[in-house]
C-alpha cells in the first residue's frame, strides 16, 4: 500500500497521482506498466513516486483499494437481488474504474488476487455472494452479455432460495 508520506499529501495531489496510476493500469497490465508513464501523467519525479510507493505493485494495490472503496461505497447491504446486482454492475461499467477492473479480471487477478474470506456467511448467502462476484466479473469482461448474465444469476438465485 502507499506510504504514510503519500497519505499526508494534499488531497488534490493524491488524487492526481492515483488517477495517473489508474490510467496506466487501465491500459497496461501490471507486468507491462511503467513508472515513467505514471510520473509523466502525474507530473511528479521518479524519486517522489518511490517516496509514495515501494514500486508498481504497491501503486497497483493502492488503485485496487481505491476502486473497491469507490464501487462499494453506495452499497448499503449485500448485493444479491438480481435488480440490485444489475444496478451495481451498471454503475461499475460507467465508473472511472471499469477499464481498470476489466484488466484486473482478465490479466492481473492471477498476480494480485484479492478475495474476501466470506467465512461469516450462511451457505446460501455465501453462494449468492460468490455468484454475484462472478457475474460482475463476467459482465466487466463482456459488457454486451449483461442482460443474459443477470438473467442467469436471477435463475440460480431463485433456485437457491427454494432449497
Mean pLDDT of the chain: 91
Question: pTM value?
Answer: 0.86
Please compute Rg for the chain using Cα positions.
18
Q: What is the pLDDT of residue 106?
A: 92
Q: What is the pLDDT of residue 125?
A: 83
Mean pLDDT of 151-163: 88
For the CA atoms of 9, 13, 19, 20, what is the dihedral angle to 10 degrees? Answer: -100
Asked if pLDDT for residue 114 goes beyond 90, the answer is: no
Separation in Å, CA 107 to CA 28, 88, 102, 156, 163: 10, 22, 8, 27, 36
Residue 116 pLDDT grade (very low, low, confident, very high; cuts 50, 70, 90) = low
When mean pLDDT is compared across 19-33, 39-53, 103-117, the lowest value belongs to 103-117
Cell digits for 85? 446486482
Asked if pLDDT for residue 98 goes beyond 70, the answer is: yes
Asked if pLDDT for residue 117 goes beyond 70, the answer is: no
Mean pLDDT of 45-52: 97
Asked if pLDDT for residue 67 goes beyond 70, the answer is: yes
Among 25, 108, 89, which residue's Cα sits nearest to residue 63? 25
Cell digits for 159? 433456485
Which of the pair, 36 or 77, is modelled with greater confidence? 36
Domains and CATH numbers, the chain: 4-70 (1.10.357.10), 74-162 (no CATH)
As a 3-state breakdown, the chain gives helix, strand, coil percent values, each rounded to 5, of 70, 0, 30
Which of the pair, 116 or 65, is modelled with greater confidence? 65
> Which residue is listed with cell 492515483?
18
Q: What is the pLDDT of residue 113?
A: 66
Amino acid at each position: 500500500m502507499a506510504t504514510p508520506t503519500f497519505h499526508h499529501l494534499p488531497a488534490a495531489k493524491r488524487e492526481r497521482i492515483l488517477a495517473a496510476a489508474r490510467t496506466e493500469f487501465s491500459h497496461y497490465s501490471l507486468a507491462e506498466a511503467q513508472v515513467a508513464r505514471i510520473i509523466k501523467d502525474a507530473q511528479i519525479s521518479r524519486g517522489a513516486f518511490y517516496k509514495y510507493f515501494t514500486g508498481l505493485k504497491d501503486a497497483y494495490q493502492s488503485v485496487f483499494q481505491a476502486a473497491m472503496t469507490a464501487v462499494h461505497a453506495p452499497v448499503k447491504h449485500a448485493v444479491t437481488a438480481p435488480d440490485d446486482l444489475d444496478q451495481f454492475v451498471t454503475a461499475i461499467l460507467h465508473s472511472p474504474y471499469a477499464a481498470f477492473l476489466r484488466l484486473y479480471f482478465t490479466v492481473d487477478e492471477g498476480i494480485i488476487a484479492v478475495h474476501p474470506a466470506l467465512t461469516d456467511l450462511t451457505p446460501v448467502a455465501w453462494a449468492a455472494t460468490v455468484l454475484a462476484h462472478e457475474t460482475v466479473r463476467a459482465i466487466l469482461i463482456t459488457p454486451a452479455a449483461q442482460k443474459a448474465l443477470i438473467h442467469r444469476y436471477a435463475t440460480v438465485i431463485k433456485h437457491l432460495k427454494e432449497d
